[in-house]
Chain A
Amino acid sequence: MKKYIILGLSVALAAFTTTSCNQDLLNIQQKGVIAYEDFYKTDADAQSALTAVYDEFIALINAQGSNNPAWNVVTNAMGDELYWGGGKKNGSSSGGQEMNEFRNTYDSTIPHIRVVYKGLYSLIYKCNLVIDNFFGEDGSLCDSPVKKKCVAEARAVRAWAHFTLACWWGTPPLVEHVLSGDARPTNCDHQVLMDWCINEFKTALPDLEPRNGKNDKPGAYRMTSGACLAFLGKAQVFNKDWAGAKSSLKQVIDSGNYGLVPTADLWNLFHVVGDGNEEKILEMNYMYNDGISRMAWHYHFQRNQALFFRNIKKYPSVLIQAGDGWGNNCSPTKSFMDAIMKHEPNSARRKAWFVSYEEFLTEYAYPLPASEASVPDKDGNKVKVKYKADSDMTKEEKLMDYRRGLNCEKYDETYANYGYYFMKLMPWQSDLIPNNATVTEENRIIMRYAEVLLLYAEACAMGGDDGSGLKALNEVATRAGAPTYTTLNMDNVKQEKWFELAWEGTRFLDLVRWGDAAQALAFKSHEEMPYLHDDFYVHGSGGKKTTGQPHKAHIYFHDDGWAKSGGGYQAGKHELLPFPFDVVELNPWDAEKGVGLKQNPGWE
């Protein structure tokens, strides 16, 4: 009997021991990932972590708000150079229109604002991963040249992100390290933050590589010392440190690594053909790679949506022919066009970037072969008319061509159009990725040399000029084919920058900084909005009758009614963006504990 007991117990004990002592069986390696602890070690890891920074950067610039890329809306919609168009006054481009006109519906829930805010902090988080893991508290982790350079790039990008936040939101939190999930960050004093950014740019500078000459295209696709200096100078201008700004920006100018493209190449600046050219200081590099289709931000099309025409019968050959009803038709404002047409009606810049309706119809090649069209006469009866091929037509014939111009059958008038088009950023056929009709891969500019020259001119105008400021200003004007200036003063700088950098994300911040916002944006409280009609058609006939007159823009101003509902620019409030609604709701200001986010004035 005893032997059985012993046998039984030994079986049982054996069973326990064989499995119990081997807890390794519980360790199962996760597939397709590597452990956090095993990463952030080598030079290759540092480069990999930095690549994630640029991945986030490019994603930020391309991220969608509701119907438009958020970055484009936030940085441009509030300027005085463009109307945010759309099919109608409350079309699919909400957000853009609300901010553009400072409508009473512009509030902290605008998705574009949230996307940019969160995107900037996601970018900061990616930068902090590099800095925390390869620099540490005291730099002890930064033990190789590669790590040094990676940390410096991440530091400069992080400073850029904070500077951007400071400009738009005033007192956003300063995030210097990777935060834990229960963090409750609070506002950072604006001046403290600006000083911090300037200091960070300076700290990063020595370890950054310069661009290697004007032909170094990759030198424009990442944070170089030149780019860092340009952002430093810009921050110093914003900080009214004129001497510091002059010194920083002059180093960019004197580096010889940058220059303005020739007047003849003005056309190319915003297209694939101009990617990485001598004028680019930092731009996000889009390059379609069909092997990795999931990465939508390696090309972009949503910006194009803001530009694509609505309501056009035929597109010039150079342009992408977007689908009907697709696009916002954003266009230059009356105040902008009146100013530039007064100053430089025939400059290369004006003719290349801001074209009138008639120019649009006659100065571009159209894909129109000789054909016959059934054209309504002034009574609405259809008459067969033969037209020549586009290349054989005179300007007068083009202006009488039924096949081109507004499609008045669809909309008798085009919303928010003063008779001019923003050709500056209009995407080209040659920007398209392979096998796609609307998606383009031209790069997105974060900083270009013309802005550096104009910032330098401003620093000189404000801080004293030795002649180099005026020279810089005139360099821009000359390249534009515009009249040059004889004196350096802020009026001239402001005008030149308005014309040169229209729709490049600088205008609204400049107006606020210069104290001009309330006056310059006052027209947005006007109740009337321009509508474009073509005199070729009988107004009101829905395109069913023609007048026998040539194509000609006719602007009607209509009361849109939105101003009555309490819209318009409000000084003391609209200088700053609101902190996004859900961000504040999740982290409300708690005066007792001194944590949480205080909403900006006027947005509470």
Chain B
Amino acid sequence: MIKKLMKMISVLAMLLVVWGGLDASAQNRTISGKVVDAGGLPVIGAAVTVVGNSRIGAATDMDGAFTLSVPAGASISVESIGYKGQVIAVGDRSVFDIVLQDDTEMLEETVVIGYGVQRKSDLTGSVASVKSEDLADRSTADAAAALQGKAAGVQIFNDSGAPGEGSSIRVRGISSNSGSGLGPLLIVDGLKVDNINYLDPSMIESMEVLKDAASAAIYGAQAGNGVVLITTKNGAKSKDGTIFYNYKLTLSQLGHHAQVMNAQQYIDWQQQAGNQPDTETMIKTGVWDGVTDTNWADVLYGTGITHSHTLGAQGGNDRGSYFISLNYVDENGMARGDSDIFKRFTAQINADYKIKSWFTVGTNTSIERRQQQKIGEHSEYAGGSAGLLGTLVIDPLTPVYFKSYDELPLGMKDAVDKGVKVYGPADHPGWYYAVSKILEGDGINPLIYRDRNQKKEEGWNIRGTLFANFTPVKGLVITSRLGYRINQKYESDYTEPYYANAKSYATTYSISANSSQTYYYQWENFANYSVTLAQKHAIGAMIGMSFSYNDSRGVGASLTGEDPLKGYAENFRYLSQDNGSGTKGISGGTPSQSTQLSYFGRLTYSYDNRYSVQTNFRADAFDSSKLSPKNRWGYFPSVSAGWTVSNEGFIKDNVSRSILSFLKFRGSWGINGNISVLSGYPYSTSISYNSKTYQYGTDNTLSLGSVPDGLANPNLTWETSVQTDFGMDLRMFDNRLTLGVDWYNKDTKDLLVSISPVAEVGISRTTVNAGSVKNTGWEFELGWQDTIGDLHYSINGNLSTLKNRVTYLEPSVGHQTGSSFGNMKFSTWFEEGYPVWFFRGYRYAGIGENGLANYYDKDGNITQAPVDADMGYMGCALPPVTFGLTLHLDWKGLDFTLFGTGAAGHQLMPCVYRVDHSQINALTYFYNESGKSIPKIENIWQSKEFWSSSAVVFSGDYFKIKQIQLGYTLPKKWMNKVFIKDLRIYASMDDWFVITKYPGFDPETASTGSSTGLGLDKGSYPNSKKLMFGVNISF
């Protein structure tokens, strides 16, 4: 294999040399000349050919010089990629000084593809491109979040709105049952990265999403979920450099939030359920003081403040460019106090320099320092981390504080008597955070969780590339690029004994710390060659290899005990202060390494700007931790083609460009893999060494035994996606109207499924490739822009549809069970014939004549006593339709942006009420609907079936106005006087308006935080609405 490839490479190299040196000499007279660009620099490798006889031609050398014999009376054509071509009549001149102008239109329209760039008009695959202006001045510090609503076919899922939490990107649906490895491959400036949460959107020049298989195929076994290519900013050529400073102040407050019952509604509900006596008795027995009506969301959430500073400089000339940017984000989330914070410092240093006319070096480097602290979310249990669900479940009758010892429930009094910590507000000694007296269990004051929370995370990340571009001849660029990542992380936690109620307490201190480090490097070498022959044959070729290595390791330690430390003051809360009495634990220490070796190539050909074909090939090999050495190579081909109809003579000649500016049809087919589902030697059977024991003797000496850890499956392989895409790009009315349409079908097979072999085999589980998922959909991008007088405006919209189905699952498995809530009966399932992780439960059929809930049984008949077998599909959280809309206006320095995004057709389940804890609060929706669309409370409050049915599944449709921004750029003539190049001030309202009927939290963050729990709305940190003020200055 390797030898073959090397042979191919050398043959190709030979061809390049032949092309590069193409030279035909004959005929009458010799001319010579020099080709330079507008800056006077020589243009190397420009093709100088005789018009009408392209066999006669020469390429310019390192000095831009050429000599050529031409027939008398001929004209010569001078062409080079990136420049506008020229045709010059030879006449009787023999020496030519030719200046080529930059082809700016073409430069603007290039898009980054894997290991190269391509003119947008030459694209044959489906690539969504988002430029810096779409990402600028957003309130989010997360690059992934900034992508939301900007590109069709790209869904952004947001498990949490907590400070510093990143969003996840899904390209064209979800194609796996796996818990991880659903997101696209992320490449920043050629470097494969683990997340893009570190990138401030202000540093990004462009983001390209390679959606179809043909575009992504150049990344082979890693590209099954699409590829996101990010290019950070680079300095622009200019006489003088620019220094810029941006400041943003963001105030955040609770946005759309679940409405739970107020005191009166809660009391009604509880009394109808028979949980509480009449109100008078409640007051008499001290259950309620008759006044308290606590809105717990208001108790926890206040106003968050974020400061963001960006300071940088950029510039460039013909030989080099630089971009340096320092960004500091200091976010204190909207939860009151300082328990949800995120601080990030990022430095981005990009520079390149043309050392020789044929040799350029450069670097892109990012240095990040981050600190994060967050409140527990996604849990319904008081003993866990139900900090945020606490704001919903605790009853409104409980006050925020107990203001004296006498008000405390017995358990708390006991704790105070014994000297056990009972949390209270720091500014009111003698007060305590109240807990519910009605609900001894999960009704914990969220402020207790907030104050207990000492879980901190911090780290350094350095990511970057160093590259050298070698240009021996015009059109050929050989790149050698070293990419690297160094990640260091330290997590610490400290919790102390406390008491809240019988379910939520701790008797021991628990101190832990984990330190981990990862380093990664990749070395890639590739050559790009492009040439246009005879003006009509544009040929591009790329060939390359890549090797990458990842090493991560960490150690952790923990200490628990009733009195494990020498002291408990702030400066004693470290593992080293252990007094020897606690129980210690250690973890980690085993390094984890992985490597990858790949070869890849691309061939593009386009004829006369009308027909283009492109083929990609990639061969990937992965290390033995993922695949059996016998099965480690994978081959990923793809092919795509495009037809630019608008360049055909019959259109050109008959239709005005001002009506039909551009029309192209394209189609592609290819195979990608998803390797990230494999790790930890899943194919192999090893011996679990000394993992078994027996005592043959009479003392407690152990004899150690060893067994295989499972059944070997050397054929285990990655998930494979086969994707077909058809698309159309249309521009009309002088490019004012743009329309892109894509249809795709993506079949993913070989999902990893854990199966039980028959019992007699004697092994409980083994993993096989035995599942398939189909994603199919349409994508539309429609834009209009125009200028009316001083007003420039644009409207861009995108919409994508998605149909997601599990098409096969190993029959012996039948289904896989995902997430659930409390001990309700519903759960998310992965089953053939349904979307991935759909909600499975009872199907509610309205109120029966006796007032009880009706359900459909499995045959579609009505029943009031459904059994497990009657459970079925109740909805799915994966939106079939997502869309985004951006409106932009510019008028005399004023600019206005309105940006919204939404999703439709999916379902969500707000998880608040639990039958086994019937005294927790519930959504106001259920109070309002009691006896209307749902049975009366007394008929449902104890019904596990009802609360596990489609009656508690809601449409997740929403439209959210993500941004309303008004900016003003001060007139240049004023600014020039104070040496300011540009000054823009703006104000923005982000995530302010949400249009939805969903009664739960935020329809965007509805998730348990795991991929199997999409749509199970279990107390995520909600997205806030934000008010933002900013200023951008450049000098």
| Interface positions of A (Cβ within 8 A of B) | 1, 4-5, 7-9, 11-13, 15-17, 19-21, 23, 25-36, 38-39, 45, 47-56, 58, 117-118, 121-126, 128-129, 172-173, 175, 178-185, 217-218, 221-222, 275-276, 285-289, 291-292, 295, 298, 580, 582-583, 586-587
Contacts and interface: CB of A to CB of B under 8 A. Distances in A.
A124 B762 contact: yes
Given A26-B621, A26-B623, A287-B695, A20 B5 contact: yes
B597 A52 contact: no
A160 B625 CA distance: 39
Most buried by B among A31, A123, A181: A181
B6 A217 contact: no
A572 B311 CA distance: 87
Nearest to B543: A12
B73 interface: no
Interface in B976-1019: none
Contacts of A1: 61-62, 472-473
A562 B61 CA distance: 100
B545 A15 contact: yes
B812 A586 contact: yes
Interface string B467-489: 00010110010101000000000
Contacts of B684: 30, 35-36
Interface stretch (B188-196, B273-281, B707-715, B738-746): B707-715
B760 A26 contact: no
A184 B699 CA distance: 43
A519 B189 CA distance: 83
Interface in B676-703: 681, 684-690, 692-700, 702-703
B272 interface: no
B869 interface: no
B590 to A, nearest CB: 5
A268 B472 CA distance: 93
Contacts of A11: 470, 478, 480
Given A29-B624, A35-B687, A587-B759, 13 more contacts: A8-B476, A11-B480, A12-B9, A15-B480, A15-B545, A35-B686, A51-B706, A53-B705, A55-B693, A121-B762, A129-B708, A185-B760, A287-B700
16 contacts: A13-B9, A16-B525, A20-B599, A23-B597, A26-B624, A30-B681, A30-B686, A35-B684, A35-B687, A47-B703, A48-B705, A51-B692, A51-B704, A52-B705, A55-B694, A179-B760
A39 B687 contact: yes
Interface in B723-771: 755-764, 766, 768
A175 B17 contact: no
Give chain B's interface residue range (CB within 8 Å of chain A).
35 or more
Nearest to B476: A8
A4 B693 contact: no
A16 B759 contact: no
B592 to A, nearest CB: 8
B403 to A, nearest CB: 38
B705 A125 contact: no
Contact of B9 (A16, A121, A122): A16
A511 to B, nearest CB: 27
A181 B757 contact: yes
Nearest to B632: A26
A221 B697 CA distance: 8
B20 interface: yes
B283 interface: no
B466 to A, nearest CB: 14
A15 B472 contact: no
A20 B61 contact: no
B527 A12 contact: yes
Given A12-B478, A32-B689, A285-B695, A184 B758 contact: yes
A25 B597 contact: yes
Nearest to A25: B595
B713 A48 contact: no
A16 B6 contact: yes
Contacts of B476: 8
Interface in B573-598: 590-591, 593-597
B66 interface: no
Given A1-B61, A51-B692, A27 B705 contact: no
Contacts, number: 228
A48 B595 contact: no
Nearest to A216: B698
A586 B623 contact: no
Contacts of B699: 287
A1 to B, nearest CB: 6
Most buried by A among B480, B545, B707: B707
A129 B625 contact: no
B6 A20 contact: yes
B643 interface: no
Most buried by B among A51, A56, A124, A298: A51
A80 B869 CA distance: 37
Contact of A218 (B527, B693, B696): B696
A120 to B, nearest CB: 9
Contact of A586 (B17, B591, B759): B759
Contacts of B473: 1, 4-5
Given A285-B696, A288-B700, A19 B759 contact: no
Contacts of B472: 1, 4-5, 7-8
A552 B596 CA distance: 79
Given A20-B597, A48-B690, A298-B693, A25 B547 contact: yes
A175 B760 contact: yes
Q: Which 10 A-B pairs have the closest CB atoms?
A: A125-B762, A51-B705, A33-B686, A52-B705, A54-B694, A55-B692, A15-B525, A4-B472, A52-B692, A52-B707
B426 interface: no
Contacts of A123: 762
Interface string B1-27: 010011001100100010010000000
A286 B713 CA distance: 36
Given A122-B762, A285-B694, A4 B689 contact: no
Contacts of B702: 289, 291-292
B378 to A, nearest CB: 28
Contacts of A586: 756, 758-759, 812
A184 B706 CA distance: 27
A125 B9 CA distance: 52
Contacts of A126: 707, 762
A36 to B, nearest CB: 5
Contacts of A38: 687
Contacts of B689: 32-34
A182 B757 contact: yes
B687 A4 contact: no
A183 B20 contact: no
Contacts of A23: 597, 621
B808 interface: no
A123 B594 CA distance: 36
Contacts of A21: 2
B572 interface: no
A292 B597 contact: no
A49 B625 contact: no
B622 interface: yes
Interface string B620-639: 01111100010010000000
Contact of A179 (B527, B685, B698, B761): B761
Contact of A49 (B595, B698, B706): B706
Given A4-B358, A117-B759, A173-B760, A36 B470 contact: no
A287 B700 CA distance: 6
B925 interface: no
A56 B470 CA distance: 64
Contacts of B764: 118, 122
B968 interface: no
A121 B470 CA distance: 65
B245 interface: no
Contacts of B621: 23, 26
B549 interface: yes
Given A27-B624, A36-B685, A217-B698, A583 B590 contact: no
